[in-house]
Structure 1
Amino acid sequence: MTPSSRLCLTAALLLSGAASAATFQVYPYNGAKLLAGQKFDLRIEAEGVRGFKDATVMLDGKALTGLTRTTTKADSVEWTLRDQSINAGNHELIVNFTDGNGAATKKVSWTAAPSVAGKARNVILFIGDGMGWNTVNAAQLIAHPYNPENGMRTGKLEMMSDLSSLASVTTSSFDSALADSANTASSIATGQKILVNALNVYPDNTEDTLDNPRVETITEVIRRTTGKSIGIVSDAFGTDATPAAFSAHTRRRGDYSAIADQYFKGNVKPDVLLIGGSRDFIPSTAPGSRRKDTTDWITDSQKLGYNFVSTRTELMAANSNKLFGLFNIDSIPSYLDRAQYKGKETLQDFTDMPYLWDQTRKAIDTLDKNPDGFFLMVESGMIDKYEHPLDWQRGVWNVIELDKAVAYAKEYAKAHPDTLVLVTADHAHSLSVYGGYDATQGPGKREAVGVYQDAGFPTYGDRRDVNGLPLPETARTYAVGFAALPDYCETYLGREVFLDPTVSNGKTGAEAGYVPNPKICAEGSVQRTGNLPPSSNQGVHTADPLPLFVFGAGAENFSGMMDQTDLFFSIARAMGVDATKNK
């Protein structure tokens, strides 16, 4: 290690000699658990530094070399060492630092999990965005109503049936007990606690959101170490947080164009990419684009060997080893909008969009061509996007749509017993089924809510659509509410045209906020007083635990109470991933 880099590294890690006024951050953070061989960027930052005198950095008693020194601020020094890895076992990083304020020492401990032999050649990971236990339960109650003759269950969701294992998963972010989709999906992808709104990176003190220290994702490890194929599927817009977490690195999940580029230029380069919206994949000159340049990934992806599809018809006819699909300018609308309501205002010109089970089936069929196996992530992203505006019907019917995709994956796993199927969520919402509702009395009748014996048995399933899913319009429905909400008007019933629950109050500055949407209030409603700040216009994520339903090979790696970061390591064990090797 050169004297210059030694000096820099010491400044970046002080904390034990209270004489120094500098503050220090080190990443990976203290207590981080990694997979042996998993790549990460070492980052050490010192701020408030007054004149370096000496510095040394030691990893397991040996001096580190090759660090790059930078100075972001007048009183800061940083060191970065990219693409590092550690062997299995416990490790200690020690930085001894001296500046004008005196000497200090900082110690950081890491653990690396060893590779093990695995049973699963293929992994299919389903993520229901916002699909906490209560959301799953609501879908179960509607898809398989109780028998009114005896109160017994008439069936179960596929995701809840014939389980090999079951777990409950807790969530948190690096900087908060509450989490968002970016950091939670990143925790599954990397095994690390990540900041809210960040994708697979640690913090740093620069303004550039794309230069943060990175940590390798499960998809990157698989791509680097095996010959397996990678697939990413979502009904959300293409660069949304959850699909991006399995292919991109950025401090800001809103770096949409950069995320789109990383799908094709990054380390993952998925073989199958079937996602919702095209805004970030088309040039700035195209209607609806939000890019600032002329990049056209629809054209350029085909030059890279992808078969591009944009409709359900094209998707089902496709027969290739690399498949790229975009099916809307934005996210794919809800199942109810596509299959039942079919409103022109919602669907616009996109009248041939696939169901999530179509995307899943085609992805599996395409990836199955690889004899080495595959990893596939399938997200039902629109569950969350309808729970936020308290539209529980659209959100719950998307869970039922997801369940049909799970059914196909389970059938595939039965025919391919070396396949592991996982169904979980990234975070929860505060949805809860608390009563029945007599819909014959119309919308917004508080007296029509029944509890206990007065709830009766809802009549979902008395009418079904062409796909066999129940219609939301029936004589007796459920009364469903949210614990985290703004002021809004409750009608208890759904509507064919989506409406936001709140609108701007028209004020500016400190008085700006939101009020109940008068269009909803006019339908007949009960006005509810929210418990979120007036600046909130929709519901928020909760810290509630999540379900994890497990089927097939390697299921023994998933059980009990698990932290979300544990899923990364359990998937690696189930697949027998050896991150210390390159293919």
Structure 2
Amino acid sequence: MYRNKRTIATTGALACLLAVGTVAATAVIPAPAPVEPGFTNDRSATLAKQIKSAKPRNVILIIGDGMDDSIITAARNYELGADGRFKGLDALPFTGAMTTHGLKVGPGPDYQIAYVSDSAPTASGWSTGKKTVDGRLSQGPSTAAEVPGTDYETVLEKYKKAGKRVGNITTSEITDATPAAAGAHINARGCHGPTDMAACASARKSAGGKGSIAEQLVDNKIDVLMGGGKNRYNQATDAGPTALAYAQAQHKYRLVEDKAALDGITSLEDGPVLGLFAGGNMTPRYQPLVATAPPGAGSDTTKCQDADRGNQPDLSAMTDKAIKLLDNPKGFFLQAESAMIDKQEHASDICGAIGDLRELDEVVQVALKFQEKNPDTLIVVTGDHAHSTQIVGGNTDGKQTATIQTADGDPMTVAYSTSDVGSDHTGTQIRVAASGPQAANVTGVIDQTDLFRTLLGRSPSSLPGPPAAKPSISVVAAGQISKSKLARPGLPIAVAASAGRTVLVKLVQNLRTLASKRIGKNGGILTLRSGVAKVGKVTVVAKVTGAGGTATATRTIKVTR
């Protein structure tokens, strides 16, 4: 703590006393106690420094489809060991839990709760701030699945309207539910392309609607749109040309189909980017290991094997490129989805799910690296719903099991028990974590609709300042003085104070104040005089008052004849 010190020039004995007083006023901070092995120091101050109330300029939303704490733990155990920590996902300073329930179709206006939802209403929840029904994309509930609801504006659309650049990338088909919810509005998630519209007849462009998901995504002029799903864009539109030809002719999209082509894109000056790296979903990092009925697949020594991904970029490369293309003074919004966690969990493929979760962690690291130089960037990492993957005690503890050897060198058995074959969603809360401006809003238990408001930037609050320091004070004076000298020239007194606003010094005898004087907040040298003091004792009382309270120091002086 800073102290204001003065050099005091006075006579011999008093000068020594004043020096002692100055030292006494300086706080001595003891060295911290040594930390015992296995423990860490309190992190409250470090965490407090991370709290920023300003609205973010950039927002990066990273989604692990089907990512809950069970698959995070399984992936961590496998990749790093039980005591390991992911460098990205586990490094985010603010963590909370998020509920994911949706609604059921019905007469309304009060719709029944759907405690287990699919990716369409869950992704719509954070995209629009409103609940909806299974299969519905950024559109409100209604009486039946085939009856459209009211379109809800999304975070991506709001940012686009505000003049920010926007991106939407995934390892699934770009028309799949999670990426589609960011930039499309339709009553059935299966209406990917122009020839997939059986359940969405009124949404056809020829019927006056907004068209298929593929068409809507490019009509929203998303600056960077990348993933799989080329087969959907090769479908013919109602007007004749394919959705891809429509995107290129109508909106000047540049098609990118492999890693080399992606590397060659360096700016958005020549138009938005449409990356289509696979006909359907992109290839997971690892080859499948599909759980089977007990005794299950795999063994105590089974390891996941790398898959042949050909010329497909991985999600971290796509994210890095997207950030570089989107970065600009006005800011940007980017949604990046590691989609094959969910796809491979549905297939009871533990290796496929683990590989895409590892890939998600690499994406978080890319985002954190950007945030280091751009601290006005909010990073949020979460899932859309939970899944039935469970770490269990042995290979008989589930309908389907698979065993692999973790980084610890020990076997880990994972079970799937929602179906005899394959697996499905569950309704439990999931992890949400964040770093950057307004990241503290994800702590505690929130709902996906709450996340919508954080992604858009809430009205900044006033943060409390650091706790006010407690004032301290010391007083130094000669041990005795004669009555005549106390009357004139008076008693020299030195006061040293800190963390105060005012300092009052009084000369008191028998509860009667003989003299008083206010001095500077840091103390100083003063003289108090009194011609009415009696032989005996007088007391110098010095009091400092500040935001952190008050402090008092006294000195007893003998008065002689």
Please report the TM-score for the alignment, with normalisation by the length of structure 1.
Answer: 0.58
Could you give the per-residue CA deviations for residues 272-315 of structure 1, whole angstroms, max 9, x where no partner exists?
Answer: 0011121211134xxxxxx7774324333333232220001111
Aligned to 1:278: 230
2:74 equivalent to 1:138? yes
2:418 equivalent to 1:481? no
Larger Cα Rg: Structure 1 or Structure 2?
Answer: 2
Give the whole-Å Cα distance in 1 for the aligned partners of 2:415 and 2:239: 44
Aligned to 2:185: 249
Contact 2:397 2:415 (8 Å CA) reproduced = no
Bigger drift between 399-408 and 292-301 goes to 292-301
SS of corresponding position for 1:274: strand
Aligned to 1:308: 255
Give the whole-Å Cα distance in 1 for the aligned partners of 2:377 and 2:394: 40
- The one-letter amino acid of 2:262's match is L
User: CA shift at 1:575, angstroms?
Assistant: 8.5
Aligned to 2:21: none
User: CA shift at 1:249, angstroms?
Assistant: 0.5
Give the whole-Å Cα distance in 1 for the aligned partners of 2:246 and 2:179: 20
Give the whole-Å Cα distance in 1 for the aligned partners of 2:418 and 2:89: 27
Give the whole-Å Cα distance in 2 for the aligned partners of 1:199 and 1:239: 11
Aligned to 1:37: none
- The one-letter amino acid of 2:141's match is P
Give the whole-Å Cα distance in 1 for the aligned partners of 2:186 and 2:378: 29
2:259 equivalent to 1:330? no
Aligned to 1:362: 321
Give the whole-Å Cα distance in 2 for the aligned partners of 1:177 and 1:436: 29
- In the TM superposition, 1:75-224 aligns within 5 A as 118-146=54-82, 153-161=83-91, 163-175=92-104, 176-204=114-142, 211-224=148-161
Aligned to 1:263: 217
Could you give the per-residue CA deviations for residues 422-454 of structure 1, whole angstroms, max 9, x where no partner exists?
Answer: 1100000011112478xxxxxx999xx99xxxx
List runs of 5+ in structure 1 lacking aligned partners. 1-115, 147-152, 285-290, 438-443, 463-474, 487-500, 502-537, 577-583
User: CA shift at 1:393, angstroms?
Assistant: 1.5
User: CA shift at 1:137, angstroms?
Assistant: 1.0
SS of corresponding position for 1:539: coil
Could you give the per-residue CA deviations for residues 41-81 of structure 1, whole angstroms, max 9, x where no partner exists?
Answer: xxxxxxxxxxxxxxxxxxxxxxxxxxxxxxxxxxxxxxxxx
Give the whole-Å Cα distance in 2 for the aligned partners of 1:362 and 1:169: 29
Contact 2:139 2:151 (8 Å CA) reproduced = yes
- The one-letter amino acid of 1:250's match is I
- In the TM superposition, 1:370-385 aligns within 5 A as 370-385=328-343
Contact 1:219 1:247 (8 Å CA) reproduced = yes
Could you give the per-residue CA deviations for residues 170-221 of structure 1, whole angstroms, max 9, x where no partner exists?
Answer: 1111121110000000001011111111011123458865x53111111122
Aligned to 2:449: 565
Aligned to 2:349: 391
- Aligned CA distance change for structure 1 residues 445 and 253 (closer, same or farther; 3 Å): closer
Contact 2:224 2:274 (8 Å CA) reproduced = yes
Give the whole-Å Cα distance in 1 for the aligned partners of 2:169 and 2:257: 14
2:376 equivalent to 1:424? no
Contact 1:238 1:280 (8 Å CA) reproduced = no
Identity of aligned residues (%): 32
User: CA shift at 1:340, angstroms?
Assistant: 4.6
User: CA shift at 1:476, angstroms?
Assistant: 4.2
Give the whole-Å Cα distance in 2 for the aligned partners of 1:137 and 1:371: 38
Give the whole-Å Cα distance in 2 for the aligned partners of 1:178 and 1:154: 31
- Aligned CA distance change for structure 1 residues 157 and 292 (closer, same or farther; 3 Å): farther
Give the whole-Å Cα distance in 2 for the aligned partners of 1:121 and 1:133: 30
SS of corresponding position for 1:245: helix
2:170 equivalent to 1:234? yes
Give the whole-Å Cα distance in 2 for the aligned partners of 1:367 and 1:414: 17
Give the whole-Å Cα distance in 2 for the aligned partners of 1:571 and 1:341: 35
User: CA shift at 1:482, angstroms?
Assistant: 2.1
Give the whole-Å Cα distance in 2 for the aligned partners of 1:117 and 1:562: 18
SS of corresponding position for 2:412: strand
Give the whole-Å Cα distance in 2 for the aligned partners of 1:542 and 1:207: 21
- In the TM superposition, 1:25-64 aligns within 5 A as none
SS of corresponding position for 2:188: coil
User: CA shift at 1:420, angstroms?
Assistant: 0.6
Give the whole-Å Cα distance in 2 for the aligned partners of 1:172 and 1:388: 19
2:377 equivalent to 1:408? no
2:252 equivalent to 1:299? no
Give the whole-Å Cα distance in 1 for the aligned partners of 2:394 and 2:141: 47
Indicate the RMSD between aligned Cα atoms, in angstroms. 2.8
Give the whole-Å Cα distance in 2 for the aligned partners of 1:273 and 1:194: 25
- Aligned CA distance change for structure 1 residues 484 and 295 (closer, same or farther; 3 Å): same
